[in-house]
Amino acid sequence: MEIFLPSRDWSSPSATRWTAACFGIAIALAAAVFALHGSALDAYWRYDDGAHLSTAARYSPWQYFFLPELVQGVSGGAHITPWNIFFYDVNLSLFGLRPAPFYAHQLLVIWLAAIATFALLRLWIASLPALIGALLFLIGAPTTYVAQQLMTGHYAAGLLFSLCALYAYVVALRAESWRWAAAATLFYALAVNCKEIYVPLIGILPFLPDRDWRTRLKFASPLLLAGVAYAGWRVIVLGSLIGGYRPNAATYDIVQVASGLAKLPQMPFTHSAIGTAALIGVVLALLWALKNRRINAGLLLVSALLLVAPLAPLTVFPGIFNPDRYLFFIWWAISSLVAVLVAQGDNSRRRWALGLCVLLVFSAAARAHRDAEKALAADTTEISTVYRFILGSQPSQVVVPRWSDGDYHWLIDTLMASVETDLDAAGPRRARVVKTDAELSATDPQGLTFWAYDQGCQCVAEITESVARRFSERQLKLQVADLPSTRK
């Protein structure tokens, strides 16, 4: 089995052919990224972009990486994700408020993650199944959601760093190199500062199918120390080891959590006949591999536990309803598992069965990808339209956001309106965004026009007349209230 090791003789003819093959695979994966997710390059700002752009414009990297109060404030006290803001910061410095390069950066990271997936799988299995795993990762709905949402870029970056950490760790084992172990530790430290779902990565290192337990633990020790340091920093920043979304009303009933987790395996395959058939095919292939000891049962069990455990609280709040970013790492694991199962096709009968399974899985994933694109298009129209209006607005305009989501729309719209002055105090002033109906009613309308998103035209329409009627009604109520009482 060919493996990637630093001692390889790259001048040999076989190495030259292998280099050319790797280059071809990288090009093929780039083509797949563009074909599947290239529409992101035409997308505008979405979701939390206003908040993240404003934070990146206001603060320096050393502040949102190392000042606990700011690290906490970046995610509302829920997570430690400074790399998310850092990517906005880098892109904002390079490209200003043009979203297309931001999305291009996101797709670049996803492409590199696909290459890293192939390289990591290639350490144990042949090139074709490794390529199948990388392509399946790209076509999945979770990857589609991440590709189309800039605010989830830290998921993609964290996965890339995690794969680099795993690759470097395996090479450290095989070459008995502390330099590679140091590289693995660095990548792991980067990964956990992207997203906490990558923290449990160190839990699988003792179970990887390389060397003996003692050697695996020895070279895993630097990563373990990095994990302990991260845990200490987490306590300093968040006040506890456990972060995440924790509303006071949420209760974590074991039955409710188990029910939520039980729904997750079907989500990336869609709730359809072909999705169910694909899932059954994967389960049957996995059971066969376990029965015949073709797969590392210990690694499989530990990996499943470490992947699912961080999602348990999310099944209660805010809930997992779509195969979005929450399933991103799990989808990568499923894709890699499928690749490992495909590698077990060592005779014609088995290859036919596994080929049918792969066809079903790719068909289900393609359908999930299309469904995700439709859902994203419907869900992002309003926020993108409002963002576009705000960045072209005047100070005399007032934006009335949707209030059904609490303060969310007001907050992100307000921060988007301030980005240009956050970058440069002399920058253009944009529209004011009112927070509540009471604030709207208390606003002096003199010289102002009022605007709100109109679902009918899917545009931001002027509502000055309706607001004027509201002001008239308010004035009438005030006048009535001032009338003397007629009661004796």
pLDDT bin (cut points 50, 70, 90) of residue 487 is: very low
Domain boundaries, the chain: 13-379, 391-480
> Tell me, what's the pLDDT at 338?
96
- What average pLDDT does range 342-364 have in this prediction? 89
Residue 45: phi and psi, rounded to 5, are -65, 145
> Tell me, what's the pLDDT at 55?
94
Whether the per-residue pLDDT at 167 is higher than 70: the answer is: yes
> Tell me, what's the pLDDT at 13?
56
Helix and strand numbers (H, E) in the chain are 19, 4
Which candidate, 138, 200, 27, places its Cα nearest to that of 366? 138
> Tell me, what's the pLDDT at 328?
97
Contact 451/463 with Cβ under 8 angstroms?
yes
Longest CA–CA separation in the chain, Å: 109
For the ranges 17-21, 134-138, 203-207, 307-311, the lowest mean pLDDT is seen at 17-21
Structure confidence by residue, pLDDT tens digits, 282-308: 999 999 999 998 888 999 999 999 999
Please indicate whether residue 444 or residue 169 has the higher confidence score (pLDDT): 169
Please indicate whether residue 332 or residue 487 has the higher confidence score (pLDDT): 332
Contacts of 113 (CB under 8 A, 6+ apart): 137, 156, 159, 160, 163, 332
CA 401 – CA 406 distance, rounded (Å): 10
> Tell me, what's the pLDDT at 19?
78
Residue 287's DSSP bridge partners are none
Contact 275/283 with Cβ under 8 angstroms?
no
> Tell me, what's the pLDDT at 347?
74
Contacts of 282 (CB under 8 A, 6+ apart): 334, 337, 338, 341, 357, 361
129, 135, 141, 146 alpha-carbon torsion, rounded to 10°: 120
Whether the per-residue pLDDT at 246 is higher than 80: the answer is: no
> Tell me, what's the pLDDT at 476?
53
Structure confidence by residue, pLDDT tens digits, 34-92: 999 999 999 999 999 999 999 999 999 999 999 888 888 776 667 888 999 999 999 99
pLDDT bin (cut points 50, 70, 90) of residue 5 is: very low
Whether the per-residue pLDDT at 313 is higher than 70: the answer is: yes
- What average pLDDT does range 297-322 have in this prediction? 87
Which candidate, 206, 242, 211, 197, places its Cα nearest to that of 224? 206
Whether the per-residue pLDDT at 2 is higher than 50: the answer is: no
Residue 403: phi and psi, rounded to 5, are -100, 0
443 DSSP assignment = S
3-state secondary structure of 54: helix
CA 352 – CA 436 distance, rounded (Å): 62
Structure confidence by residue, pLDDT tens digits, 382-439: 999 999 999 999 999 999 998 766 688 999 999 999 999 999 999 999 999 998 888 8
Structure confidence by residue, pLDDT tens digits, 104-160: 999 999 999 999 999 999 999 999 999 999 999 999 999 999 999 999 999 999 999
pTM for the whole thing? 0.91
